[in-house]
Amino acid sequence: MDLLQLKYFRELAYSQHMTELAENLHISQPSLSMTIAKLEDELGIKLFDRVNRKIILNDYGRIFLNHVDVIFNELSYALEEINELKNMENKKIILATTGTTFLTNIIIDFLESNSEITIKQSLVAYEKITELLEKGVIDFAITHPLLNNKNIESKVLIEDDILVVVPKNHPLAHKKAVRLEELKNEHFINLTEHYDFRKLTDSMFERSGFKPNIIIEGEFTLIERMLKSGLGISIIPRTLLNLYPNFPAKTLKILDQNEKWSIGFSWLKNKYMNENSKKFRDFVLNYYK
């Protein structure tokens, strides 16, 4: 017994006209008759009475029809639920990042002009993001450094300068640039949110031959308050500073390091992308041009 047999039975039960139904279904009448006969054989009963070359649904057929109606109604409800969920999923963008501070403005700007779309964003370790993309768990990733995988498309969003930030009353505040080794006796305030950025700065300090004296690790707002209080200095990407036009500190270029803070935007190659995903991808790529 299969759905095609049940479908033909249901149609015939309501029409009770074999020739007309066969024409509507675009099949031959013998084929339709054979399908119904096979169903009756499987059930071990006759579902229709043949009277004067007419077919009439009998008592067995009426009982069977009631249950077949339930089956097709449930299938219809299931498809409606699936389509509803599919429509909801098509309106959701799942984004993984290795840092979130610089994302605030772009997400706000996107949602303001695309209120029908929702974004689910999570902070994920760089080492795990490729796997999440390949498994289809996430739609997009914004990372440092760029993902390097043959199955993943990656575009550079930002090539950012890395700056030393000191309080305005600091002895180095009059300078425009410093060598990193000049800072070996300073107290450092580090970002904790950007673990990948921390690894980058650690490598910079290592090349300069010293381990920084880190007095506290915190979010960017804490760093801002501590710099204002003159409790230490920090190393920060320019992009973060641009989010705070009245940042209470002096910025200095680094003379002996050419490191850049590179932010990449990635998605899985050859994966089907619905219109909302395309809209988000294009928005992000154009945002940083």
Q: Residue 68 and residue 283: Cα distance in Å, rounded?
A: 49
Q: Say whether pTM exceeds 0.75.
A: no
| Burial (Cβ within 10 Å: 0-12, 13-18, ≥19) of residue 226 | buried
Q: Over 60: is that where the pLDDT of 193 sits?
A: no
| Burial (Cβ within 10 Å: 0-12, 13-18, ≥19) of residue 195 | middle
Lowest mean pLDDT among 29-43, 95-109, 208-222: 95-109
Which pLDDT belongs to residue 7? 92
Which pLDDT belongs to residue 281? 95
Most confident of 134-148, 184-198, 229-243: 134-148
Which numeric CATH code is attached to 3-89? 1.10.10.10
Which pLDDT belongs to residue 102? 66
CB 197 within 8 A of CB 237: yes
Is 164 or 198 the better-scoring residue by pLDDT?
A: 164
Work out the pLDDT band at 96, boundaries 50, 70, 90.
very high
Mind listing the pLDDT tens digit for each residue in 39-90?
999 999 999 998 887 889 999 999 999 999 999 988 888 887 777 677 666 7
CB 121 within 8 A of CB 100: yes
Lowest mean pLDDT among 204-208, 220-224, 264-268: 220-224
Mean pLDDT, range 20-39, rounded to an integer? 91
Q: Over 90: is that where the pLDDT of 285 sits?
A: yes
Which pLDDT belongs to residue 236? 87
Name the CATH topology of 90-156+264-287: D-Maltodextrin-Binding Protein; domain 2 (3.40.190)
Work out the pLDDT band at 272, boundaries 50, 70, 90.
confident
Mind listing the pLDDT tens digit for each residue in 128-169?
999 999 999 999 999 988 999 999 999 999 888 999 999 988
Domains of the chain, by residue range, sit at 3-89, 90-156+264-287, 157-261
Work out the pLDDT band at 195, boundaries 50, 70, 90.
low
Q: Over 60: is that where the pLDDT of 115 sits?
A: yes
Which numeric CATH code is attached to 157-261? 3.40.190.290
Is there a shared CATH topology between the 3-89 domain and the 90-156+264-287 domain?
no
Number of other CB atoms surrounding residue 60 within 10 Å: 16
Mean pLDDT, range 29-40, rounded to an integer? 92
Which pLDDT belongs to residue 47? 94
Q: Please state, rounded to an integer, the average pLDDT across all residues of the chain.
A: 88
Is 235 or 248 the better-scoring residue by pLDDT?
A: 235
